[in-house]
Amino acid sequence: MLIENVKGNYNFIRGGGPFSSGCAALPGFEIVHAAIVPLMPLAQGFELVERHLKENRRPIEALCAMHLRIPAPLTPKGFEEFNRPYIERLQSWGLEIDGANRSRALTSRWR
């Protein structure tokens, strides 16, 4: 089921739990992948995302995915604890529609 994110200029697919399962830009817009190098703690990454979107005159609702790195394989409980600050920040930014995040969390392990 596609859900329209008018403020962010993209549609997303409701996924499992609080995440979306993908997104697609609305006509006239594009989804741009930006990598943060060097890697930084999550709180600093949030600040950078906010600043970048503001500098580019885009609303926070334009955020459609973040790729998070985890330090090692995690148990389901460990992943929930790791992911909690991410979900809380998305909620504080108002990136939920009917309990579904507009932003897709992508996680991978540190190398």
> Between the CA atoms of 72, 90, 80 and 107, what dihedral angle is there, to the nearest 10 degrees?
-30
Whole-prediction pTM? 0.76
Q: Which residues of 6-22 are buried (b: 16+ CB within 10 A; e: fewer)?
A: eebbbbbebeeebbbee
Secondary structure of 41-64 as H, E, C letters:
CHHHHHHHHHHHHHHCCCCHHHCC
- pLDDT recorded at residue 53: 93
- pLDDT recorded at residue 11: 87
- pLDDT recorded at residue 64: 85
Write the pLDDT tens digit of every residue in 69-104.
Answer: 887 888 889 888 888 888 888 889 888 766 666 555
The mean pLDDT value for 13-40 works out to 83
The average confidence (pLDDT) of the chain is 81
Write out the two tokens for 48: 């950078």
Task: Name the residue ranges covered by the structural domains of the chain.
Answer: 2-109
Q: Which residue(s) pair with 14 in the sheet?
A: 20
Q: How many CB atoms lie within 10 A of CB 95?
A: 22
Task: Give CA angle at 91 (108, 39), nearest 5°.
Answer: 30
- pLDDT recorded at residue 111: 39
